[in-house]
Every structure is written in C-alpha cells, then in structure tokens.
Amino acid sequence: MKSSLRLLAGWLCIGLGLALMVLLGLGADLPSATSPTPILVALLPSVSFGLALCTVGAWLIATRKRP
C-alpha cells in the first residue's frame, strides 16, 4: 500500500510540474522585442518551481522499495 501511494504521489508530482511549465509557457506572451531576456528572467522562479516538482516526483518513483 505504501509503495503504491508513493508511486501515485511521484507521478502526480511529475504531471503537475509539467502541466505548470506548459501553462506558464502558453501564457507567456513574448513580444517581438529585440531581447526576450527580461520576460524569461521573470518566468524563471515559476518554471523553477515546476522543475523542482518534477524532480521530487522522479525522486519519489526512483527511491521506492520494490516488492
């Protein structure tokens, strides 16, 4: 039971992290300016959170005890 719950939580974290990054990417309207760097720097904390969530999910899946 504990292993399956850990596996479910891991996949849920990965899915939520990827969904967060996709939604942020779709919502970021990059204007046709000479440099999109300021917008990308502004999105960095949010995308980092999504990436961290994916990493936690991968860790939960990779470190589970197999029967």
The three-state DSSP-derived secondary structure of 10-42 is: HHHHHHHHHHHHHHHHHHCCCCCCCCCHHHHHH
pLDDT given at position 33:
57
pLDDT given at position 27:
67
Give SS3 for 29: coil
Q: Is the pTM of this model over 0.75?
A: no
Q: Give the model confidence (pLDDT) of 11-60 as tens digits.
A: 898 888 888 877 777 766 556 556 667 777 777 887 788 888 888 888 88
Give SS3 for 34: coil
Write out the E strands in 1-67.
none
Residue 9 contacts residue 56 (beta carbons within 8 Å): no
Domain boundaries, the chain: 2-62
pLDDT given at position 35:
67
Torsion of Cα atoms, 11 then 17 then 19 then 21, to 10°: -150
